[in-house]
Amino acid sequence: MKFHIEKLDYEGRGISREKDKVIFIEGALPGEEVEASKIKEEKHFELYKATQILKPALKRRTPFCPFSKECGGCTFAMVSYENSLLYKKAIIEDLLKHNGLEHINIEIASSPKQTGYRNKISLKIHDNQIGYYKEGSHDFVPIANCLIALPAIQNLLEDVSLITIQEGAITIRSNNNDELLLIIESQEEPKFKEELIQKHKIAGIIWNEKCLYNSPFFFERLDHLLYKVSAESFFQVNTDIAEQIAKDILPFFKKEDIVYDLYCGVGYFSLKLARIVKQVIGIEINPKAILNATYNASLNNLTNTSFHVGKVEEILPKLPYKPSKVLVDPPRSGLAKQVLDVLLTSSINQIIYISCNPKTLVRDLKKLTEKYEIKSLKLYDMFPFTKHVEVCASLELKKC
């Protein structure tokens, strides 16, 4: 079927309309006419994939990655970096408009590195080949490289034949010192040649949570702070952008502040805040991340922190502290209703909301604006060329 593309949805898919149904089309850009085949049909929408671009947009170009069309991970591989940012901004503006929040100026912070920025990738292994599942499916796409990964990870991918795994999955993490953690899941124990250790800085090899080589963690140094990062713990995947976010939000906090850091991970923001505020209280569901955060505070001689393990919605109401400001960096699902309720009834002066999912961010902002005013909104391109963005909103308690 042929379609004319009106705009993009928050997943970076083209939108067209057919009678009373919305049509989402993967691989299409606004203004294009495309031929597409149906993937999925629901009551109120249908999902298609573009099979032929009949009238290409002026912004379309040859993808920078030879695997992008099949892999599907880099949604905007077929446009320039500058245009990818404009598309992402338009998606955020559209989400805000549909939720009655359209009169907000959006700033954009581009990534210093457009490729070679990602310090963690997760790959599938099939028939001793590495690859990704095609976007939205379990169809295996073998790859020879991943151009958005850090150079140390790309170099390892060139030597992946030094590791023997028939079927399974591998996550590769790297720090700024080019050290690598290999986290492998498979039924059979992986084998690796000594050459792997000789050619690469292997910090550790973990198989089904069992450490086969060296350590199940490494250290990352950023902004004169040292972070212990365990294999399973969350850490910012683009440290250049993470540092920019920290630089932008720290001026919101003062020496006298008591701050909640909700969904604190290994304490990335907690430690930076602890250097300038009175006290930081972090909450995180991952127990190993909390162990890392506690260790990291001690490692950096920061004594004004405390960390609590558990669901934020369960721990938050039990804490005896009275924070003046709150930093939230939730998973893609956004804030639980119980967390929103606490924020709306506690009269906290300021909330800094960092989100990796604009859809749930806008949903939560709409609720929070019952009591808070949105003072700023900034789009950080944490994930260049992909459909994902990081957005940071600053909210202040409304004056009565």
**Which residues are annotated as catalytic?**
356
The three-class DSSP label of residue 297 is: helix
From CA 304, how far away is CA 307, in angstroms rounded? 10
Cβ(106)–Cβ(93) below 8 Å: yes
Angle between helices 337-345 and 358-368 (to 10 degrees): 40
Question: What amino acid occupies position 277?
Answer: V
From CA 280, how far away is CA 271, in angstroms rounded? 8
∠ CA 328-331-336, nearest 5°, is 70
DSSP H or E run through 288: helix 287-299
From CA 234, how far away is CA 67, in angstroms rounded? 27
From CA 196, how far away is CA 183, in angstroms rounded? 15
The end-to-end CA distance of the chain, in Å, is: 56
